[in-house]
Amino acid sequence: MSNGSNKSALQAEVEKHLEESTPIENAVVNVSALAKILLGSWSGVRKQAREFVKDPALHQTIGLPLEEQRERVLTQMHLLVKNGSVHRGFPIKVGGHDDNGGNIVAFEEMVTADPSLQIKSGVQWGLFGGALVQLGTDRHHYLLPDVMSLKLPGAFAMTEIGHGSDVANLATTATYDPKTKQFDIHTPFAAAHKQFLGNAGMHGQAAVVFAQLITLGVSHGVHAFFVPIRDGNNFLPGVSGEDDGWKGGLNGIDNGTLAFDHVKVPRENLLNRYGDVAEDGTYSSPIPSPGRRFFTMLGTLVQGRVSLDGTSTTAAALGLAIAIRYGNERKQFPSGTGGDQVLLDYQRHQRRLVPKLATVFAQLFAHDELLRKFDAVFSGADDSDESRQDLETLAASLKPLSTWHALETLQECREACGGAGFMAENRLTQLRADLDVYVTFEGDNNVLLQLVSKRLLTDFSDKFKNADAGALAAYVVGRAAEAAYHGTGLRTLAQTIKDFGSTARSVKELRETNVQRELLTDRVEAMVSELASRLRPASKLSKSEAAELFNSQQNELIEAARAHAELLQWEAFTRGIEKIHDAGTYQVVSWLHDVFGLSLIEKHLDWYLIHGRLSPQRAQAITAYIDRLLARLRPHLQDLVDAFGFEQEHLRAPIATGAEAARQAEAAEYYRMLAASGNAPTPEKKAKA
């Protein structure tokens, strides 16, 4: 049997299986029913927010000078205030709605209007306002009405030039003086200057500044302080800063640096929910452990990560809605010259876009679960330590994947639309430029994934917390033996022989949910267990040797976290399709689900082959299966992106309006008329014949 015909046999088998198992004739997507499911748990708020962002006054204008972009976004912020869009997340007592989930949902939808508007809102009401709510107490909450009304624009001054992801080691100090009852806020050198702060470049009148709290000669770690920074356009005494100027995107936001030269603020400006200083300088905290206190304070940052996960998913969906509409109309060869294929009929075009569409569906379902968890924790319905930690791990897992995926998707969409994709009016390039920084802010993606991998390792060792050392050793040996069994190809051999002559079996199993689950789960567990066993010697090594050992596994740690996050997305997608109740929609979305699951396995095929989880024959079946599913999904792609529910006011891309189809109809009509007139020129070849 040749490899070529092997593949053909595979393809035939895939085709046969699909024919037998799926009622293709009935597969029609109920777009509005699917749209309702995809809107998620806060569908009312989401629809309302989508309706609101149709207002052209909120839309990004390309090419404005820097100051005008910033002014425009500031004006738009006031429109949000007027609309009451910013109140949802604030406490009821200050005029808010205490609706944490709904607040995030409305925030996410702003990305279709202008990512600068979104992120500047996030700085003002999520970070600056959120810090006052979460880290402050009643003595600060009097500020909130002015924060909500934008009378008091503020910055969130955490990041320092010398300390990007390393918040615990911030160098800015806040030293308490019992004599004056003031804190002295000070950035002792350039690396301590606060950097990349939204609202700091121009508009900010105050900042929540993170600094090492020092009182009575003791440093109690990082705390937050309310610090006025400007009076109108002028810095207050002791405060200075620079405007960051042009960035790769988000130029509607005035980012900048802030430096503090012994700036004095009253003792009460300490946001004292988790740590306070009495008039005499005595420090107290409801959380005795400095480490735990620090992580509790940082826990408020999770809101940003949750919202970026949803935002990135919305942006990727928007890009696909534009590119798939265009691909459905655009012909490679013009009307009148034969061939009615549009771009989406080409296999390569499907390969470029459909797995990304499948990922967006997975992300939508995963994000809805994340939102619900976030809402439960922040509303207090379920804010146990464990739930908070789960929320943080979930957000740290999903945010890296979805933010990276948005960039990849917008780029693929732009390329799939050719030169038209490069025109700013078609949205794709600017959206990508604006979202670029999402992969490194609110937690650098690589840093977040390392946090996830540490959690995975902890969970792994927790399994044996109450077991004696012997049980642990036995388990490790057991896993290792199993790994060897997989690893040396022995299982491959067995599977190959089992598969041999039974293509049907290897093909059929791949679409079974349990088989996909097992493959994806197994990879995460095996990777974590391998890492745990490789890192075990660390406890016996010197600090620097242990660091070196960890560093030698850093890449694999991140890959294990990524595998975990992919599994979470796949599981959410698997649960999500159960919400679909009509058969046709269920069928089509199930195909998309399989594309997602099988694409994940295809992406890591080398791992499955090395570890003996898939035979070479079955590995080939995966690619063949995806190819067939792409062809099956082809007629439904427009319905699937229509179910995202965007309207022309959200898309705002000339290539997604039907203009292309109209132009082609005009061309076809011209050639038809020309042929009918008898005036069409003869091609040269025929003339010679």
Site for its own copies in 353-412 (CB under 8 A): 407, 411
Q: Please, what sign has the CA dihedral across residues 397, 399, 404, 410? A: positive
Question: Using CB under 8 A, which of 217, 232, 380, 470 touches its own copies?
Answer: 217
- φ and ψ at residue 231, rounded to 5 degrees: -120, 100
Question: Does the annotation count 442 as an active-site position?
Answer: yes
* Closest separation in Å from C-beta 377 to its own copies: 27
Is residue 496 a contact residue for its own copies (CB under 8 A)? yes
Question: Using CB under 8 A, which of 17, 70, 72, 163 touches its own copies?
Answer: 163
| Residue 7 or 16 with smaller CB distance to its own copies | 7
Give me the residue label for tokens 């082959």.
Answer: 609
Other Cβ atoms within 10 Å of 521 Cβ, number: 15
Is residue 238 a contact residue for its own copies (CB under 8 A)? no
Stretch of 266-274, 303-311, 428-436, 579-587 lying at the interface with its own copies (CB under 8 A): 428-436
DSSP 288-318: --HHHHHHHHHGGGHHHHHHHHHHHHHHHHH
What whole-number distance in Å separates Cα of residue 159 and Cα of residue 163?
A: 6
Q: How many residues bind its own copies (CB under 8 A)?
A: 126
* Closest separation in Å from C-beta 136 to its own copies: 21
Is residue 439 a contact residue for its own copies (CB under 8 A)? yes
| Residue 585 or 664 with smaller CB distance to its own copies | 664
Tell me which residue of 236, 183, 184, 229 sits closest to 206, measured CA to CA.
Answer: 229
Stretch of 132-140, 141-149, 572-580, 676-684 lying at the interface with its own copies (CB under 8 A): 676-684
Stretch of 1-9, 20-28, 42-50, 462-470 lying at the interface with its own copies (CB under 8 A): 1-9
Q: Please, what sign has the CA dihedral across residues 575, 577, 583, 588? A: negative
| Backbone conformation region of residue 654, classed left if phi is above 0, alpha if psi is from -120 to 50, else beta | alpha
Task: Compute the chain's Rg from CA coordinates.
Answer: 28
Question: Using CB under 8 A, which of 9, 376, 480, 577 touches its own copies?
Answer: 480
* Closest separation in Å from C-beta 88 to its own copies: 29
Is residue 554 a contact residue for its own copies (CB under 8 A)? yes
Site for its own copies in 588-617 (CB under 8 A): 602, 605-606, 609-612, 615-617
| Residue 67 or 518 with smaller CB distance to its own copies | 67
Q: What are the residues facing 681 on neighbouring strands?
A: none
Site for its own copies in 109-138 (CB under 8 A): none
* Closest separation in Å from C-beta 56 to its own copies: 17
Is residue 587 a contact residue for its own copies (CB under 8 A)? no
Question: Using CB under 8 A, which of 1, 57, 469, 689 touches its own copies?
Answer: 1
* Closest separation in Å from C-beta 671 to its own copies: 9
Do the Cβ atoms of 327 and 421 come closer than 8 Å? no
What whole-number distance in Å separates Cα of residue 265 and Cα of residue 277?
A: 13
Q: Please, what sign has the CA dihedral across residues 15, 18, 21, 22? A: negative
Site for its own copies in 502-531 (CB under 8 A): 530
Is residue 421 a contact residue for its own copies (CB under 8 A)? yes
Give 577's contacts (C-beta < 8 A, 6+ positions apart). Answer: 586, 589, 590, 593
Amino acid occupying residue 369:
E
Is residue 278 a contact residue for its own copies (CB under 8 A)? no
Question: Using CB under 8 A, which of 97, 454, 534, 579 touches its own copies?
Answer: 534
Question: Using CB under 8 A, which of 62, 92, 467, 471 touches its own copies?
Answer: 62
Is residue 5 a contact residue for its own copies (CB under 8 A)? yes
| Residue 340 or 647 with smaller CB distance to its own copies | 340
Active-site option among 160, 392, 442, 660? 442
Site for its own copies in 175-214 (CB under 8 A): 188-192, 195-196, 212, 214
Q: What are the residues facing 197 on neighbouring strands?
A: 256
Q: Give the residue ranges of DSSP H helices in 84-181.
A: 100-109, 115-121, 129-135, 138-141, 144-149
Is residue 286 a contact residue for its own copies (CB under 8 A)? no
What whole-number distance in Å separates Cα of residue 262 and Cα of residue 270?
A: 16
- φ and ψ at residue 206, rounded to 5 degrees: -150, 170
- φ and ψ at residue 577, rounded to 5 degrees: -65, -20
* Closest separation in Å from C-beta 13 to its own copies: 15
Do the Cβ atoms of 198 and 153 come closer than 8 Å? no
Give 569's contacts (C-beta < 8 A, 6+ positions apart). Answer: 359, 362, 363, 365, 366, 398, 401, 596
Structure tokens at 219: 């440093």
Site string for its own copies, 623-642 (x = CB under 8 A): ----x---------------
Is residue 56 a contact residue for its own copies (CB under 8 A)? no
* Closest separation in Å from C-beta 446 to its own copies: 6
Give me the residue label for tokens 């732009």.
Answer: 414
Q: Which residues are catalytic?
A: 442
